[in-house]
C-alpha cells in the first residue's frame, strides 16, 4: 500500500520496510501496535500534535510506552507552554486520523521534535499514515526525512 508518507520516502530515496497489522479500533495504543508487530513498545514511535503558545503547531515523536513531557517540549521548541491539540483538530491540521498520524507528508511542514531515545535503535517503527500499516526504517533516515530536532521530550507513563 502506497501512502503519502511512503511516497515521500520513495522520493527521498530512503530505504524502509512496511508491516501490516490488524487494527483494533478500540485499542489504537502504540503498545498494542508493538505487540502485533512483535517489537518492543519503546521501538514503536508515536506522533502527537501539539500547540505551543509562541510557535504554534508542532509534532512530537516519542516512544510508544512513554508520555510526552510538555515542559521539556516547550523548552526545546522555545515556548512558555505547549498543549496537545484536541482530537477533532488532528485530521484538519495533519491530514491523518488518530492511530495513523505521522510526521511524514503532513498537510503542512510542521516542526518535528523527536525524543532522544530514537538514537538507541538501529530500526524504529512509525505510522505509515494510516491505521494498520507501519514503516520500519533507520532513525537517521527518519530524522532526515522529517528534519527532526532531537531532545529529551518523553517521560515514563504514569499509571
| Domain regions of the chain by residue span | 4-156
- Res 159: pLDDT: 67
Is residue 57 classed as helix, strand or coil in its secondary structure? Answer: strand
Tell which residue, 63, 34, 69, has the closest CA to residue 47: 63
Torsion angle of the four alpha carbons 90, 96, 102, 103, in this order, in degrees rounded to the nearest 10: -70
Is residue 149 classed as helix, strand or coil in its secondary structure? Answer: strand
- Res 39: pLDDT: 96
Summarised one tens digit per residue, pLDDT across range 18-29 is 999 999 988 999
- Res 1: pLDDT: 75
- Give the residue-averaged pLDDT of 130-151: 97
- Give the residue-averaged pLDDT of 41-46: 96
Summarised one tens digit per residue, pLDDT across range 49-65 is 999 999 999 999 999 99
- Res 158: pLDDT: 80
Mean pLDDT of the chain: 96
Summarised one tens digit per residue, pLDDT across range 82-119 is 999 999 999 999 999 999 999 999 999 999 999 999 99
Q: Could you count the other beta carbons within 10 Å of the beta carbon of residue 83? A: 12
Contact 69, 152 (CB under 8 A): yes
Torsion angle of the four alpha carbons 146, 121, 56, 99, in this order, in degrees rounded to the nearest 10: 90
Question: Model pTM?
Answer: 0.96
- Res 94: pLDDT: 97
Q: Sorting pLDDT into bands at 50, 70 and 90, what band is 152? A: very high
Contact 68, 48 (CB under 8 A): yes
Distance, C-alpha 138 to centroid of its chain: 14
Kindly indicate whether the domain formed by 4-156 is annotated with CATH number 3.90.960.10. yes
For residue 158, report the phi and psi dihedrals to the nearest 5 degrees.
-95, 125
Amino acid at each position: 500500500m502506497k501512502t503519502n508518507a511512503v511516497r515521500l520516502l520513495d522520493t527521498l530515496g530512503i530505504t524502509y520496510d512496511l508491516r501490516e497489522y490488524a487494527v483494533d479500533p478500540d485499542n489504537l495504543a502504540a503498545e498494542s501496535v508493538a505487540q502485533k508487530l512483535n517489537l518492543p513498545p519503546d521501538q514503536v514511535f508515536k506522533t502527537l500534535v501539539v500547540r505551543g503558545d509562541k510557535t504554534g503547531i508542532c509534532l512530537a515523536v516519542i516512544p510508544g510506552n512513554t508520555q510526552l513531557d510538555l515542559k521539556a517540549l516547550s523548552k526545546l521548541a522555545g515556548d512558555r507552554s505547549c498543549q496537545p491539540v484536541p482530537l477533532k483538530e488532528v485530521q484538519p491540521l495533519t491530514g491523518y486520523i488518530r492511530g495513523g498520524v505521522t510526521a511524514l507528508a503532513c498537510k503542512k511542514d510542521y516542526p518535528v521534535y523527536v525524543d532522544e531515545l530514537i538514537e538507541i535503535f538501529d530500526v524504529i517503527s512509525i505510522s505509515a499514515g494510516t491505521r494498520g500499516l507501519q514503516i520500519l526504517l533507520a532513525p537517521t533516515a527518519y530524522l532526515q526525512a522529517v528534519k527532526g530536532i532531537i531532545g529529551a521530550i518523553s517521560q515514563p507513563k504514569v499509571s
